């Protein structure tokens, strides 16, 4: 299927420190492009792949599962590792979930994590019906463009494909079980008001992760914070984080 205009993956060539950006479920690289441009302007090499099933039409996403999304992210990470001295992984929502999985499985290679409204669980009894519901109902109303800033829009599907969402819940369980394996220093951004991801996600991460982790609360943004009022805080904070961790590595 042809790509939606603006959903294209992107790469910005820069210096020896690389950043892998990973977008969220039903979204596209469009939601992270301004972030990538800011990091590239700071001298970093930046890559943001388009995850399988995204950026075309929502039924395509129902044909994919979490190993497909993880495989694409890992492939991009491996390629970055081949050309950069150190690689940081940053993601929004499910993209942050995939970033965590990379850090769990390749702890000696991920230099640091920046997580924006990561999803690893949902406290909703309706999830109990999902294994059956996904076979009789293709999708729910979408979760896209949860943005407080007037005029800002996320390029994402207007439906949530249930087979894909059910697969994401399987990834959540794996990630939660292995959080103790993450060793990379982590910067966590959480929106004070998020209509997609509940606050319990950040609370679980802070309680289970044993690596150095700092949480920053975004007071003026909803879920898609990379396109919202606090975007500059994310962009500047993540660049400062990379420079701080990289300097620590060099000094140590």
Q: Residues with Cβ < 8 Å from 157, sequence gap 6 or more?
A: 26, 57, 58, 61, 142, 144
Catalytic pick among 23, 31, 38, 93: 93
Q: Are 173 and 200 in contact (CB under 8 A)?
A: no
223 is catalytic: yes
Catalytic pick among 28, 146, 194, 246: 194
By three-state DSSP, how is residue 181 classified? helix
Q: What is the pLDDT of residues 113-138, one digit of tens each?
A: 999 999 999 766 666 666 656 666 66
On whether the pTM is more than 0.85, the answer is yes
194 is catalytic: yes
Q: What percent of the chain has pLDDT over 70?
A: 91
By three-state DSSP, how is residue 163 classified? helix
Return the closest-CA partner of residue 48 out of 86, 98, 85: 98
Return the closest-CA partner of residue 149 out of 232, 90, 91, 27: 232
Mean per-residue pLDDT of the chain: 93
By three-state DSSP, how is residue 177 classified? helix
Q: What is the pLDDT of residues 140-197, one digit of tens each?
A: 777 888 999 999 999 999 998 999 999 999 999 999 999 999 999 999 999 999 999 9
Whole-angstrom distance, CA of residue 184 vs CA of residue 170: 23
Whole-angstrom distance, CA of residue 238 vs CA of residue 204: 22
The DSSP code for 200 is H
Where does 84-218 have alpha helices with state H?
94-105, 130-136, 162-177, 200-208
Confidence of residue 252 (pLDDT cuts 50, 70, 90): very low
Catalytic pick among 223, 228, 230, 246: 223
Where does 15-117 have alpha helices with state H?
33-41, 58-61, 66-83, 94-105
Residue 182 burial (CB count, 10 A):
25
pLDDT surpassing 70 at residue 208:
yes
Q: Are 117 and 194 in contact (CB under 8 A)?
A: yes
pLDDT surpassing 60 at residue 101:
yes
């Amino acid at each position: 299927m042809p790509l939606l205009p603006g959903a294209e993956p992107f790469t910005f060539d820069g210096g020896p420190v690389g950043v892998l950006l990973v977008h969220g479920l039903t979204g596209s690289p469009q939601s992270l492009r301004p972030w990538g441009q800011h990091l590239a302007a700071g001298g970093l090499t930046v890559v943001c792949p388009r995850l399988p099933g995204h950026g075309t039409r929502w039924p395509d996403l129902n044909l994919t599962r979490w190993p497909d999304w993880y495989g694409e992210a890992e492939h991009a990470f491996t390629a970055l590792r081949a050309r950069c001295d150190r690689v940081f992984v940053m993601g929004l929502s499910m993209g942050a979930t995939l970033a965590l999985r990379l850090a769990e499985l390749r702890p000696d290679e991920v230099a640091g994590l920046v997580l924006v409204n990561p999803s690893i669980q949902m406290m909703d009894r309706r999830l109990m019906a999902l294994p059956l519901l996904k076979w009789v109902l293709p999708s729910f109303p979408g979760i896209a463009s949860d943005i407080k800033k007037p005029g800002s829009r996320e390029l994402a599907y207007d439906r949530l494909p249930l087979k894909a969402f059910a697969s994401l819940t399987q990834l959540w369980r794996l990630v939660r079980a292995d959080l103790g394996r993450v060793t990379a220093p982590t910067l966590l951004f959480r929106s004070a008001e998020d209509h997609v991801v509940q606050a319990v996600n950040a609370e679980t991460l802070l309680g289970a992760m044993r690596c150095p982790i700092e949480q920053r609360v975004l007071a003026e943004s909803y879920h898609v914070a990379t396109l919202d009022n606090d975007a500059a805080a994310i962009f500047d904070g993540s660049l400062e984080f990379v420079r701080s961790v990289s300097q620590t590595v060099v000094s140590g």
